[in-house]
Amino acid sequence: LHGEGDPLTARPRGLRELDEIDAVFGALANEHRRHILVTLQARGGAMTAGELADRFSHTWSTTTRHLQRLEAAGLVHVEVAGRQRRYTLDADHLRRTTAAFLGVFGG
């Protein structure tokens, strides 16, 4: 799931998959990050950082940290255009990773 040159690719495949599962579930562990993902889904899958920040009562820096954590987990991708950052939901990555975890239990 990670590309060439990524430090995780040096690990055996099974361990890389566990790392990805840990990253995704770590990101999902926070209610604000889950809310960001649901908001992105409800708004067509993409929003600017400003649009997202306007939806939440916490500070801009807190929103930015949540978005960075979601990006690090591969759940959102960011496009930078000038001073604007547009975040796009990667629902496929979320589905694949959670399915891989549930598959361990026959789900």
Q: What is the pLDDT of residue 107?
A: 54
Q: What is the pLDDT of residue 11?
A: 72
Q: What is the pLDDT of residue 58?
A: 77
Q: What is the pLDDT of residue 10?
A: 72
CB 3 within 8 A of CB 52: no
Q: What is the pLDDT of residue 22?
A: 95
Q: What is the pLDDT of residue 59?
A: 82
**Closest to 30 in 3D by CA, of 72, 1, 83, 2:** 72
Mean pLDDT by 10 residues, the chain (107 residues): 55 84 97 96 95 86 94 97 95 95 85
